[in-house]
Amino acid sequence: MGLLRCPEGHLFSSRRYGSICPYCHKAVRLANDNAIDDAEGIYNDSTPYIGDLEVMDPVTGWLVCIDGPSKGRDYKIFTAKNFLGRSDSMDIQILGDNAIAKKNHAVLVYDPKKRKTLILPGDSKGLVYVNDEGIYGPQELDDHDVIELGKSRFLFISLCGERFEWEDLDDVNKNNKKDNNQEAEGENDERDKSDKSEKSKPL
């Protein structure tokens, strides 16, 4: 699969997003797949299982275009390196601004160990600015920093960092599950003791 067009007319990469449009979140019916939900994404008893969707990594932040051809559109940032450019092979594909390089105009990196998001200039000729300052090496991003690429400007919105990390949430869920299991085991032990006590009573 290559590019798909959703019912609203958006083009997107099926390799990266499966059959769900990342812009309007509507499903695209594939020619060889009758096992998807309706165009509004509503499931009912007659809706078969969706088998072709790719599992995506949790989002760590966003770029939101605040000036340029893609104004108002948001782009998800994931853990590790996110290569940015106009090509379909880029992790963050920005269309409409031909002043942005086709490949590797910039690289956004989320480091889960340091809990920081950084931006690096890519290996193209295009320049990268953060808050109107040229970037020529790795620079840490703060929430609401403004990134300028080509003729477009983007607002950086962080999700993961010092206050939140997906792994912390997983640890909390594991601990809650462990506590629930221990509580259930305790209740079972009490029930067993009660049953044995009832059986031991003389008739």
Let me know if 197 is exposed, middle or buried by CB neighbors in 10 A (0-12, 13-18, 19+). Answer: exposed
Residue 153 in contact with residue 65, Cβ under 8 Å? yes
Would you state the pLDDT for residue 192? 65
Domain identity same for 20 and 85? no
Backbone angles phi, psi at 167, to 5 degrees: -65, -35
Q: What is the pLDDT along the chain (203 residues), one digit of tens a residue?
A: 477 888 877 888 887 778 888 887 777 776 554 444 444 555 454 444 444 444 457 899 999 999 999 999 999 999 999 999 999 999 999 999 999 999 999 999 999 999 999 999 999 999 999 999 999 999 999 999 999 999 999 999 999 998 899 888 766 656 665 656 666 666 666 666 666 666 666 65
Euclidean distance between CA atoms 122 and 70, whole angstroms: 21
Would you state the pLDDT for residue 187? 66
Would you state the pLDDT for residue 33? 47
Flag whether 200 is in a domain: no
Domain identity same for 65 and 47? no
Final residue in a domain of this structure, among 56, 86, 102:
56
3-state secondary structure of 180: helix
Backbone angles phi, psi at 20, to 5 degrees: -110, 125
Helix or strand run (H / E) with residue 78: strand 74-78
Flag whether 203 is in a domain: no
Here the tokens at position 178 are 């462990």
Number of domains in the chain: 2
Domain identity same for 35 and 100? no
Contacts of 92 by beta carbon, 8 Å cutoff, 6+ apart: 63, 75, 76, 77, 82, 83, 84, 85, 108
Helix or strand run (H / E) with residue 3: strand 3-5
Domain identity same for 35 and 75? no
Flag whether 194 is in a domain: no
Euclidean distance between CA atoms 112 and 199, whole angstroms: 56
pTM of the model: 0.61
Q: How many CB atoms lie within 10 A of CB 199?
A: 7
List the domain range (segments joined by +) for residue 134: 59-158
Here the tokens at position 112 are 């889960």
Residue 33 in contact with residue 19, Cβ under 8 Å? yes
3-state secondary structure of 193: helix
